[in-house]
Structure 1
Amino acid sequence: MADAPLAIGIDIGGTKVAGGVVDAAGRVLARTRRDTPHRSTSPRVVEDTIVSVVEELLAGTDRAILAVGIGAAGFVAADRATVVFAPHLSWRNEPLRESLGSRVALPIFVDNDANAAVWAEHRFGAGRGETHLVMVNLGTGIGGGVVLDGRVIRGRYGIAGEFGHMQVVPDGIRCECGNRGCWEQYASGNALVREAQALMSAGSPVVSDLFDRVGGRPEDLTGPLVTEAARDGDPLARELLSEIGRWLGIGIADLAAALDPGTFVIGGGVSAAGDLLLGPAREAFRRQLTGRGYRPEAAIVAAELGNEAGLVGAADLARTDALAG
């Protein structure tokens, strides 16, 4: 394993490009990061940043690098070369692999960041040994990825795993995607903060602890602050996380009906709440599961690799595909 080829993984978000040199055991041997202008209008700015990260990582190792894997937050075409749409960047049908290929003398593989994360958890994290794995990432919205029979399932057009836009409430809350009642409007970091802010704006006395934590400024409230309050025992924060968990369990039961995995891995920032979130999710899942009481029940577990799952998975996918030829 020590002599197995290394790969570089790049994780691209709306405001940062993080990179690392990753070995075949999923260990990150070197790391670097660059900030990018928020919602930059120029694809070239982000591409320049990626190239800068790759060059720094290459200069910092004396071992051979086999390939570069890129995990991008957006729709990546099935060719694993083109970013069809990235909501937080200016990429629209951007031929990313071609653009970078002329500047980086290594094989390049592009993937959705959630696909990279689920692969990392499958290979090295909470999903080790599980052949049928679904990952649900709870952040600002909800993303996800699927591994079935040990393969990432990307879909015919490369856009599988957009779980957050399953409709769970007909004519429900309007979503940024344009539809109503999407799952991420009820089980995400945005949903958690929105519900707390609504109570704060209404002047409810039950949110006094949260008011104190943000100095009376509801607009400064964040998901991590709600989670911190819940851990400190605040009843309202615990209730809000429990409600998010309930919706999480309902959506997971729908995914179980469609995909029948052995394990659901829950990642993303909101998952830091641990059993304050996952306990209610498991309960709702059991109540909602089709055929409950007469079928095996998937495990629901917390992700293990945290913020590095994207770059670790991107690197390992690139290494795997480069070796496959």
Structure 2
Amino acid sequence: MTLAAGIDVGGTKCLGIVIDVDADISSEHDIIREVRHPTPHASKLVDTLTALAIELGEVETISVGVPGLITLDGVMRASPNIPGSVDVAVKSELTTKLHRPVYVDNDGNAAALAEWRFGAGRGARNMWMVTLGTGIGGGHVVNGEVQRGVNGFAGEIGHMVVHPDGPRCTCGRKGCWEVYASGRGLRMLASGEPGENVIERARHGETDAVAVLEAYARWVAIGISNVTNVSDPDVIVIGGGVSEAADIIMPMIRRWFVETLYSPEQRKHPDLRIAQLGEHAGAIGAALLPRFATAT
């Protein structure tokens, strides 16, 4: 047994777990320990991560997935959903506080690694993980290796501009994909109504709610068709809130995906799959970083 701690930093919570990385992780029942803390202002992030790591207990490795632009040496350059997140040296500061090596990567990369290794992406040669949460996270795994780019910033698909004159994103630009296709995007399209309410009403056939979900599904499909046109994956794993409403939203997304994809009749389409590891994907993937990451 090899115990590894993985911490996933989200827009609202930090989730830490301990797993046996020698085992086959198939569900939350394979998690040995779990700890949660609210996500603080960036100035307190390292203190929160330190406390969380200590609570997780004795492990062989500690790793963290952090949202935003994360350099190859573990500096959070920017993370629009965490206030104050400019040039936070997560890796070096946490290493100093814990007196041990710490691995740090982008949270989307970590989630992608988890779903490729243990979840819906098993067997994929060229896989994208798309997480539709507070924002939109992305991670790209090719032949078992996470694609990080020259600076570590690859995979920021939530900030593809899909409407240059659209509403302003939390990053400061206008019309980013996550403005429309994130959880916040669904609420915006519903004129402020919570997404879970819209989904429930759509399940009961209320036409206005169905129309909102159709509009949302179209925006989701536009983004994943762009990702497909750029990288030609064989699998796209979709996680976040959509995975909890797959029965009603995924048929819409699949239909709009065909409508928006370049030359759909002349190509093999990627398999659109729902993520299997739920909210634990980022933390599980973080725990895997020491074994699979090439630059952490």
Taking structure 2 as the reference length, what is the TM-score of the superposition? 0.90
Tell me which residue corresponds to 1:309: 281
The 1:124–1:21 alpha-carbon spacing in structure 2 relative to 1, beyond 3 Å, is same
Q: Trace 1:224-263 onto structure 2 (pairs within 5 A).
A: 224-263=196-235
SS of structure 2 residue aligned to 1:160: coil
Tell me which residue corresponds to 2:15: 18
In 1, the alpha carbon distance for the partners of 2:9 and 2:107 equals 8
The 1:113–1:321 alpha-carbon spacing in structure 2 relative to 1, beyond 3 Å, is closer
Q: Which amino acid aligns with 1:255?
A: V
Tell me which residue corresponds to 1:57: 56
Structure 2: where are the runs of 5+ without partners? none
Q: Which amino acid aligns with 1:85?
A: A
Tell me, yes or no, if the aligned pair for 1:22 and 1:316 is still in contact at 8 Å: no
Q: Trace 1:1-325 onto structure 2 (pairs within 5 A).
A: 3=1, 5-24=2-21, 25-26=24-25, 27-37=30-40, 40=41, 43=43, 45-58=44-57, 65-79=59-73, 81-87=74-80, 88-197=82-191, 221-321=193-293
In 2, the alpha carbon distance for the partners of 1:68 and 1:110 equals 9
Displacement of 1:36: 4.3
The 1:70–1:282 alpha-carbon spacing in structure 2 relative to 1, beyond 3 Å, is same
Tell me, yes or no, if the aligned pair for 2:68 and 2:156 is still in contact at 8 Å: no
SS of structure 2 residue aligned to 1:102: helix
Displacement of 1:258: 0.5
In 2, the alpha carbon distance for the partners of 1:72 and 1:257 equals 27
Q: Which has the larger radius of gyration?
A: 1
What RMSD, in angstroms, separates the aligned Cα atoms of the two structures?
Answer: 2.1
Q: Which amino acid aligns with 2:115?
A: E
In 1, the alpha carbon distance for the partners of 2:164 and 2:203 equals 33
The 1:100–1:170 alpha-carbon spacing in structure 2 relative to 1, beyond 3 Å, is closer
SS of structure 1 residue aligned to 2:265: coil
Q: Which amino acid aligns with 2:37?
A: R
Paired residues in the alignment total 289
SS of structure 2 residue aligned to 1:135: strand
Displacement of 1:321: 4.8
Q: Which amino acid aligns with 1:140?
A: T
In 2, the alpha carbon distance for the partners of 1:168 and 1:97 equals 33
Structure 1, 95-104 or 258-267: larger mean CA deviation: 95-104
Tell me, yes or no, if the aligned pair for 1:70 and 1:109 is still in contact at 8 Å: yes
Displacement of 1:19: 0.7
Taking structure 1 as the reference length, what is the TM-score of the superposition? 0.82
Stretches of 4+ aligned residues off by more than 4 angstroms: none
Tell me, yes or no, if the aligned pair for 1:7 and 1:319 is still in contact at 8 Å: no
In 2, the alpha carbon distance for the partners of 1:58 and 1:170 equals 47
